[in-house]
Amino acid sequence: MVDITTGNNGGPEQENPGTNPDGKEPGIEIVETDDHPDSVAVHLGRAVAGAAIEDHFLDVVVPTIARAIHRQRDRLLEETDRVIGQKLERDISEVVRPILKDVVQEAVHEAMDLGEPGMVVEIHDRAMERVRYFSRQHMLFPVLLRLLSIKDRNNRPLNIALNGPAGNGKTSMALNAAEALGIEAVLQPFNPQTTKSDLLGYMDASGRYVPSPFYKAFTEGRVFIADEFDAANPAIAITLNSAVANGVLTFPNGETVRAHPNFRAVFIMNTLGTGANHQYTGRMRQDAATLDRLVQLHVPIDQGLEASIAGLAAGEMNKIDIEEGGHFKDNQEILDTVRAIRQAAAELELKYIISPRAVLHATAMHAGGFGKKWIMECCVWRGMPEHERAAIAKRARIEP
């Protein structure tokens, strides 16, 4: 179990935890498990495995679904009120019958994903008093959730860049992370023709402001997912610099807006934002100042997730050690490390930006319970080639 709000896995408590829409601290836990007493899909899938549903309907399925209906009272409140207390095993009312049909069909399909050990991620949101189940997720799902749940010393969320090969689940992981946090997601694809109006909205011929997806995310507190961000015109991408770094932006209607407390931004890229290569020929080199505002998380292919997509046994999810590399002693050690790396890179004439934002992001991750390995990868090395990383580390007299 991982507590992704306080990060109390060895690191210090974070000073400025985030809040959800009702003002409560998010209080989210992640559980990777194969036993879910409240999961209708798992119970149903295991109960009817190898047998027709009719054979077990009265003994197993109906009581299970009755409990599921009771739990899902937000969606089924009226129907539940009519049937709670009745003996459903003996008499299924006409009100409940169509609901049961839908639940059974959905649960049987879901059970195909959730019935195998190690295939389920369970999200506990203590403040919102709800539990959400997800089928097999990418192994870095818990890492992304934690990153989206912590804030820096300026009380602003971290802005995350997910980079990695095509088709490996980056966008799906971001969408599911937003759902796990209980925050609506807004997805906006980018390409070389994406305009400033696409991003910020525009004034129509009648003088009325037509808002963009980003405007709604920024002002209403949603997770903004910038898909294929490294394909964007860098001049357009720069438009977001003030929003993601300072939490304030002026829109075409003249309105200067501060970001909603729940606003988060996730940027999906196949590259590090450094331009096209022999595989991703349609990518643009993004401005270094834009990239410096992002915490970079490399997302490799998860072979277990790939197997589950093919309908094959995926085995248990790879265990991710959030504390890998041990913890920095304190923020002073982080500051000294970043400064030593910056100086070493300059002396070696390597053109990398290692700005004070690296310290800002690193101290936030440290407060969120991350170990040195994750902090250095996401905030300092950020995809730097191994030979250059080794040269800098040697000169700075630190571990690469």
Burial class (CB in 10 A: 0-12, 13-18, 19+), 181: buried
Strands (E), the chain: 2-3, 28-33, 120-125, 130-134, 160-163, 185-189, 202-203, 209-210, 223-227, 248-250, 256-258, 264-269, 295-298
Amino acid at 267: F
Structure tokens that stand for 60 in this block:
């197993």
CA-CA-CA-CA torsion sign (163, 366, 344, 290):
positive
**Is the separation of the CB atoms in 268 and 162 below 8 Å?**
yes
Long-range CB pairs of 376-381 (<8 Å, 24+ gap) are 376/325, 377/296, 377/298, 378/147, 378/295, 378/296, 378/297, 379/295, 379/296, 380/337, 380/338, 380/341, 380/354
**Cα angle for residues 287, 289, 294 (degrees, 5° grid):** 100
Say whether pTM exceeds 0.75: no
Map tokens 């729940």 to a residue. 262
**Is the separation of the CB atoms in 57 and 92 below 8 Å?**
no
Structure tokens that stand for 92 in this block:
């299924």
Q: What is the pLDDT of residue 309?
A: 79
Query: Pick from 259, 279, 348, 308: which is nearest to 120 by CA?
Result: 308
Classify 275 in phi/psi space as left (phi over 0), alpha (psi -120 to 50) or beta.
Answer: left
SS3 state at 149: helix
In eight-state DSSP terms, residue 323 is T
CA 246 to chain centre: 21
Which residues, given as ranges, of the chain have pLDDT below 50?
1-27, 32-58, 73-74, 80, 85, 87-92, 108-120, 125-131
CA distance 143 to 137: 12
Structure tokens that stand for 310 in this block:
């093919």
Q: Give the CATH architecture of domain 140-320.
A: 3-Layer(aba) Sandwich (3.40)
Consecutive H or E run containing 374: helix 372-375
**Is the separation of the CB atoms in 124 and 296 below 8 Å?**
no
What angle in degrees, to the nearest 10, is found between the helix axes of 73-83 and 62-71?
120
If one counts every other C-beta atom within 10 angstroms of the C-beta of residue 82, the result is 12
Amino acid at 49: A
* Number of residues in the chain: 400
Residues 6 or more apart in contact with residue 139 via CB below 8 angstroms? 302, 304, 305, 317, 318, 320
Query: Pick from 278, 279, 276, 267: which is nearest to 165 by CA?
Result: 279
Where, residue-wise, is CATH 3.40.50.300 in the chain? Answer: 140-320
CA distance 378 to 385: 14
In eight-state DSSP terms, residue 60 is I
CA distance 17 to 1: 19
CA distance 279 to 230: 13
